[in-house]
A and B are shown apart, each in its own frame.
Chain A
Amino acid sequence: MVVFALFIISKSGGLIYNREFHTGMSKLTSNDYLMLAGSFHGMHAITAQLSPIPPVRQPPPAATSPNLQTFPVRATGIEVLESSHFRIQCFQTQTGVKFLLFTEPQQPNVDTMMKKIYELYADYVMKNPFYTVEMPVRCEKFDRGLDGFVKVRG
């Protein structure tokens, strides 16, 4: 079980967090990472456009309040990208922030990991009063939380 890295891309396509947990991916300069994040953002939008079928509406939860229904159903972009050496899991939040998790091709339970990372992000980044949105994430507690979580798993 190897998790190589985590990227967080803001809703406008900027790389706001990048962290390597394990060596195995090519060493790139921070400029290259920014470029890759930006191009991934664009490709994600194109993959959503290319969808040959209309997006399926999720079945509404049992107790629905009327304002839950107002979200338009949109095609999702890339969710999983596979290559021969690794696998990229992409999770996009409702507000358009993208979490990219680079793992081994056979990594199980990436979904739950992603959920946990999103929780950490919500707890330690979004609730941090000194964090401004769309800016690079520099929160020590988030770093430590991630470390603890990924190390335990890895």
Chain B
Amino acid sequence: MVLYSFYIFDRHTECIYSRRWTPARPTSSSSKSAARPQSGASIASNGDVVAAVRKGMSHSDDEKLVFGLVFSLRNLVTKLGGADDTFLSYRTGEYKLHYYETPTRMKFVMLTDTKIINLRQYLHQIWANLYVEYVVKNPLAPVEHPGGIGVANELFERGLEAFITAVLPV
């Protein structure tokens, strides 16, 4: 199993926690376009923007893209399947995105490789056993977390690390 990244979004569309296990993308895309110079040419006919365009994008841009994406996908799913339908995950040729939303509209998103079963219940556990225990119940943490204040504390980080190595299916 390969984990690529993990994001928590609060109900105000802000990314309050993000963690990634992949090297920054600009290096990977530049090495790729160096290997195949013809791929950096232009925007393809079917709207797929080639990887070279991504060079200038930072992590926070990625967070915004991920949020916008899961937000729209969630809306699409509820529109098509009715109000009680929930968006669970999607898979592309390269990665899989898992999604879990709490009743308070917090969104937990994890990007992994494609061969993994749905991680929704594990994301639920991260919320219930780690986030609620170490962030919500922390008397020093604010109620909201603008800019991620109070989320990335030591206990939460360590708990997440242990959870990922011990609990997630390999």
Contact = CB atoms under 8 A, between A and B. Distances in A.
Interface of A: 11-13, 25-26, 28, 32, 36, 39-56, 70, 72-86, 92, 95-96, 102
Contacts of A75: 48, 51, 92-94
A86 B80 CA distance: 9
A78 B92 contact: yes
A82 B95 contact: no
A81 B82 CA distance: 16
B86 A84 contact: yes
A36 B48 contact: no
A79 B93 contact: yes
Contacts of A25: 80-81
B153 interface: no
B161 interface: no
A13 B44 CA distance: 14
Nearest to A55: B94
B49 interface: yes
Contacts of A55: 93-94
Contact of A36 (B51, B66, B79, B97): B79
B95 A52 contact: yes
A47 B32 contact: no
Interface in B55-108: 62, 65-66, 68-69, 72-73, 76-77, 79-82, 84-95, 97
B38 A76 contact: no
A22 B86 CA distance: 20
A56 B94 contact: yes
Contact of B32 (A43, A54, A76): A54
B25 A52 contact: yes
B118 interface: yes
